[in-house]
Chains A and B, each alone.
Chain A
């Protein structure tokens, strides 16, 4: 028994006992505990195993910098691996498991790696595992991989929910310690919209473990008073349990609030975590300072902790890290810990001070060893003593905990995330924040102000300045008074001590990744002395703590070895995230069905009632086919629909096409420049097929253009490209030709549009329309507004994507379903059927009509057999000039052809490539590819569209349709891509 709960004291609520388990062992803590403080209170010193050597490890810190005490919280789908026990708020029912050990934490087979450590130094794997070659893949890599990682991700569906939110404020304060709280108070009283975010579940920061009094009360009570006042201010938002993880452009901060991570049984009404994007006019970084570990032999033994953490456990949680605590310090902070513990009756076995001439006051009766160094530690899985060296003499001092303090570094992570590098301060012996402008200022310990009164003052002053800057009146506020400390006396002084010489065993720099001082030496010897190289070669600072404790010592050691100042070594790059953030929080509600929006056609319900099977098509759900009773496969349904359209009539929902109204005196000119074929002289009341190119001459999209009036057009696009075409038109109208008098807007959602196709289409449709729509009056490509019987305004187009006599009818979206039903009713006597996009696809395939399966962004109009649409006479249109390039007109380009299998029973599938008969497959011999393929029920065989080199010259040639990927090979005859009714007799019937 070493660590234990003190009989009194701390901010835990001793009346609220919380039961939890660690590795299955039932334990108890109090409300207000972290998992770490509760584990310590239960004398659970050993909490984890390190990454490489599986060394036994204990709690080192009391905050987010923790490298060792990583556990898996929860179980099953609610497992949270690699959770820092030092920030995990204790709750009743919490279950924690240790990691990276087998079979148990106490006895871990992986620890054998420690014996091999001479062979496992930094970068060992780059030099080895290469002989023989085959063994890397089969043996070495699997072994290395199995050793990877710490915690285990279950990869099960997360039952909890997440959300994201924007917030806007005048002042964001990151950190609710003395400086942050005072700043919030001043700014809040002045009327600024303030957000104060702190990662802890309790606001107060260092005030919560402070022995000093403020304005006559204990520091924690002072904090409580300030928080109470802040809570009363409507313009102040307090976000506890909220980590600001990133600073982005325009002073936008990312933060994650752990709304329900501390709850055993989370409410379904609340998210587990919430990501905030906070747009702040001003921000204050009040993130405090981090105490530095000392790098000495055996410094990783459970029981060796940061001195400040020892204080925090004692003062805030009422837990002593040991019965007999030694201190190893290079500055005054270690004495402060000793005084605090001593006041609580904890035995201080010794203070080992690396300095020769320190004048700090040790508690009465405590032995101080000046110019001393801890060179080794004793004990197995917990500390039993330290070996202290002084003037060449060694001494074993018994203790069961050691608090180490190597001085302080401001926590400046956020300030350095946008490219500015930290600045070495000789005065602070630390890297301090660069000047990053008025948007983000640094305050308190993060600003190198290490006294409590100084932090309070800095908070007051910076907040006052910001309030004034933003035009608020900040009333002069007195700085709270601290009891004993004056601003200069309380200043912790320390000597920079990057490495303690004379280590008798491994002296760890990065605990989690097991990087010890010698690894850095090896890195330097091998030419990896640059701080980024050293990091990458040794993995120092690359663990889950991102080197919060270790980086500064690594820099110092490199500087020492290279004989330069730490300023010259510099730091590695600070990047988001300050502490790790879950995928779930960052994804928010965008998951599963909500990953992207879902669009449903206005005819969706009609299709559903008619039994449609739906298929995703971009954001849309489209009806794919309409199975009928007795049909066993989709092909049966599709074949029936196709044959029925060819023989009778069918109705297909084409509402998903992009639809754009174009108006204006220059509308015709605008469209004429937009499409490669002429549009100027399109008569009113007519529709025309149009082909749009990109400026590089390749087909961008196709669709129809209808003219309702001289200055009014209606444009359709493909479903897939609706958004892109609209944006392209915006660009052309606004940027290229801003002087054209043209206005347009998307009406894709305003119209329900349906194709009525088949020899009986007119007979069906005429029943809904009084006007004559006969061939003579409303011929192929007629387009105009109509009024349906019953008074519904509609637009009717004589266009066809099936080669049949066909109409497209557009009605206001809200009437779509009713009109579709009407048409079905009217068509009953004519054997009308609903048909889906699969049948639509077969119908167009039989006619050699094209979709984006053909227009893949690399196809010219001529490739597609549409060269006649390219109007060389037009003065200018998008894509004209570059279409003349050699590569776009070369004779060996791949051209659209049809394919029919020589053996009529064979099938072909899209994606196959084409080879000349008898030629070996090779990239050079590749003749082309199949863009679309399917079974034609009309022809009773499979047909395909393909792009074939110089294809139009090769009709009649036999070619191998080569689908090696699916082990499928067919000989096909090259033919014209129009398989059915090449004279278009049916179309114009």
Chain B
């Protein structure tokens, strides 16, 4: 993971083509949601040790946000999918 990412659009690409944004499990609250919900969305992170999902932006490639499912200890990558597809899935 720290060396290569298999972009679903571009294939195997080196890490330095990507910018990492962070936790991809967060869902932006509704405008009417509580202060606490907004605070948690913007400021609180599960920060798991082990399996996590993270947004990697293929800035020097297809410019898609990818959801990279990976392990924060072994750095093994389990899956890489397009972020919009994942977001639609989550909103469904």
Contacts and interface: CB of A to CB of B under 8 A. Distances in A.
Q: Is the interface of B mostly helix, strand, loop or mixed?
A: mixed
Contacts of B82: 734
Interface in B12-39: 12, 14, 19, 21, 24, 28-29, 31, 33, 35, 38-39
Which of A695, A730, A739 has the most C-beta atoms of chain B within 10 angstroms of its own C-beta? Answer: A730
B42 A249 contact: no
Interface string A801-824: 000000000000000000000000
B85 to A, nearest CB: 8
Interface string A439-474: 000000000000000000000000000000000000
Contact of A695 (B21, B33, B42): B42
A249 B75 contact: yes
Contacts of A723: 59
A735 B87 contact: yes
A695 B59 CA distance: 21
B80 interface: no
Interface stretch (A496-504, A874-882, A929-937): A874-882
B83 A250 contact: no
B2 A731 contact: no
B38 A738 contact: no
A744 B79 CA distance: 27
A689 interface: no
A727 B87 contact: no
Contact of B2 (A166, A248, A730): A248
A696 interface: yes
Contacts of A876: 31
A734 B87 CA distance: 8
Interface string A953-972: 00000000000000000000
A730 B84 CA distance: 10
B2 A250 contact: yes
Interface in B40-54: 41-42
Nearest to B33: A881
Contact of A731 (B14, B35, B65): B65
B19 A735 contact: no
B2 A735 contact: no
A87 interface: no
Nearest to B41: A695
Contact of A882 (B38, B63, B88): B38
A882 B40 CA distance: 11
B1 A736 contact: no
A959 B88 CA distance: 55
Interface string A736-747: 101100000000
A876 B30 CA distance: 9
Nearest to B82: A734
A305 B42 CA distance: 62
A439 to B, nearest CB: 11
Interface size for chain A: under 10, 10 to 19, 20 to 34, or 35 or more residues?
A: 20 to 34
A279 B3 contact: yes
Contacts of A739: 88, 91
A419 interface: yes
B28 to A, nearest CB: 5
Nearest to A697: B42
Contacts of B38: 881-882
A252 interface: yes
Contacts of A730: 57, 63-65
Given A881-B31, A882-B38, A735 B3 contact: no
A166 B17 CA distance: 14
A59 to B, nearest CB: 37
Given A279-B3, A727-B19, A880-B31, A738 B55 contact: no
B65 A279 contact: no
Contact of B87 (A252, A736, A880): A736
Interface string A694-738: 011000000000000000000000000001000100110111101
Interface in A645-704: 695-696
B35 to A, nearest CB: 8
Contacts of A880: 31
24 contacts: A166-B14, A249-B75, A250-B1, A250-B4, A277-B3, A279-B3, A279-B4, A279-B12, A419-B73, A695-B42, A723-B59, A731-B21, A731-B55, A734-B64, A734-B65, A734-B83, A734-B87, A735-B55, A735-B87, A738-B88, A738-B91, A875-B31, A876-B31, A882-B38
Interface of B: 1-4, 12, 14, 19, 21, 24, 28-29, 31, 33, 35, 38-39, 41-42, 55, 57, 59, 63-65, 73-75, 77, 82-85, 87-88, 91
Interface of A: 166, 248-250, 252, 277, 279, 419, 695-696, 723, 727, 730-731, 733-736, 738-739, 875-876, 880-882, 885
